[in-house]
Amino acid sequence: MPAPGTIEVHMDLRNPPPMYFVQGPVSIVTAGQLCAYCAKPSMTGLQKCSGCHRVKYCSKECQKKDWPYIHKTMCKQWKQINELNKAIPMFWPGFGPNDDRTQRQNAYKIRREQARRTCGPLSKAFELSLLIALLNSDEIKCANCWKTPFETEKYAGLKHTCSECRFAWWCSDECYSVKETFHPADVCQGIGQRAALQHLDVAVSVGRRKMLTSLQVPTLQTVKKHTPLSSLSGWDEYAAILDPSFSTRIASLAQTYAQIHGDVDKALRTMAFDHKAIPMTILATLEELYPDIATRQKLKVHLIGAGPREATIDEEMESILHFLPALKELHVAYIGPRIENVMLSAVIDSACTRPPKDAACHHCQAQGRGFFRYRHTEFYHDYVNEAAASNGAASPDLCVLINSGFSEEATATWLTTLDWLIAKGKAPILCTQFTITEAKKEQAYFDGREDVQVLTRMEKNKWGSPRDILRQDERVITDGTAGRNSHYRLVVQGKK
């Protein structure tokens, strides 16, 4: 008998179902825009499971196939989630469509704590799934009062749906009449973009039948002359000046994925720029720190706390080599426990007892230029103590903490690493953040240290990702602003 809260999955691993390759929570499934088995997209025509009312299928055949595979277990859990939703309504008593942001923040905190207390006796895995269901803003619920269709004895859909993003609902005419309060144009646009990008993510993973895949549009070869990123206004000029074939390649990809969503061209551009955000933020920072960057022949960069995201855009990291024509060697080290199970071709582990394989494209290799990658699966402060002597790990040109969230998560571990970087490290430290709230916290942390020199104060990152990652009610309960990968950045260094 399986442990409480675990999910039984039955399938032939030689021929897994399409949704097997889709990782993480996919809100377009629970919003009924995607078949839960074959991943076929559709705004209409999908049939809902009559048991849980949470997922839809494009045919009876897909529903039958999904039942023994995973839905037999998930349907029971969704039913329990529905019952819990009745016990802890999303619609907080006295919480009306005209309440302000502070009232919503307080209601969210109370709801979250009550959910935790109610879920306490359950297993951790099941508790987590319940909390995700309760707090996930992409569940179908009223955009104003947060009432869901699952709070009544008999399921009934909500009365209004946003005609633009198709991802916002209202339970009554009263709530719909004030829709602009918490569903203004920018929020609507962000939600619509997230839906389009999820459709694209699913299509790429299912089409390639590969997990943790990503659709990259990397630069194809080295530019003839270095163009400082500071001279460009942003991503549109990047595409026009640094990578002239970019738009043509996007148009070609748009034809391949034309059937998945109406905004596929825009989604492709956003996804491509999202993958380029890390290397371009690194390059812009290197240009800012080193006046001789255009003539340098060797660079070392350490990505600290690296994980699957950094690994999946590894192909884009070579853009740094392509945009610095004088550069002969680019060395990038991926360091952190989360990189352990990520497979990267041409990567060697930390011992570095043999020369790494050159991972550069054939154009760069023909010119005698190299792109070398390293991986270490321990915390950075352990890595430098063990590996510095063998491969010069302690002397990078730049240390990078991408969206570390060190002010909010795993602070003890991060502070140990930061103490080492500030006290013993010689390289500048680039820190990027999802939101302005995180950025302010990290700036305040460094301002409070007398042994830190701030080289670049917190600022909005011109080369941050254009992909909005905060859900609608996450924006409501934080500061109302978008959250994006490397949305903000700052640069510091330990005082000599």
pLDDT band, residue 131 (cuts 50/70/90): very low
Instruction: Check residues 233 and 1 and name the one with the higher pLDDT.
Output: 233
Who contacts 141 (Cβ-Cβ below 8 Å, separation ≥6)? 90, 147, 148, 149, 158, 169
Does the structure show a pLDDT above 70 at 366? yes
- Cα–Cα distance list, 313 to 198, 213, 271, 308, 318 (Å): 17, 9, 11, 9, 10
- Return d(Cα 465, Cα 281) in angstroms, integer: 10
Closest CA to 144 of 185, 188, 180: 180
pTM: 0.80
Q: Would strands 329-335 and 298-304 be described as parallel, antiparallel, or unpaired?
A: parallel
- Return d(Cα 121, Cα 80) in angstroms, integer: 14
Name which of 34-43, 204-213, 260-269, 311-320 the model is least confident about. Answer: 204-213
Does the structure show a pLDDT above 60 at 402? yes
Q: Would strands 370-376 and 169-170 be described as parallel, antiparallel, or unpaired?
A: unpaired
| Contact by Cβ (8 Å): 247, 239 | yes
Does the structure show a pLDDT above 90 at 368? yes
- Return d(Cα 168, Cα 160) in angstroms, integer: 8
Does the structure show a pLDDT above 70 at 238? yes
Mean of all residue pLDDT scores within the chain:
78
* One-letter identity of residue 66: D
pLDDT in tens, 456-492: 999 999 999 998 875 555 554 455 556 788 999 999 9
HSE, side-chain direction, 13 A CA sphere, residue 248:
6
pLDDT band, residue 345 (cuts 50/70/90): very low
Which pLDDT score, from 0 to 100, does residue 73 have? 83
Which pLDDT score, from 0 to 100, does residue 375 have? 82
pLDDT in tens, 145-163: 778 887 776 777 788 989 8
- What domains appear along the chain, each with residue ranges and CATH number? 18-134 (no CATH), 277-494 (3.40.50)
Output the CA angle 442-446-452, nearest 5 degrees. 150
pLDDT band, residue 432 (cuts 50/70/90): very high
Closest CA to 308 of 330, 336, 286: 336
Structure tokens at 422: 């500030």
pLDDT in tens, 250-263: 999 888 887 777 77
pLDDT in tens, 184-204: 887 888 888 888 888 888 888
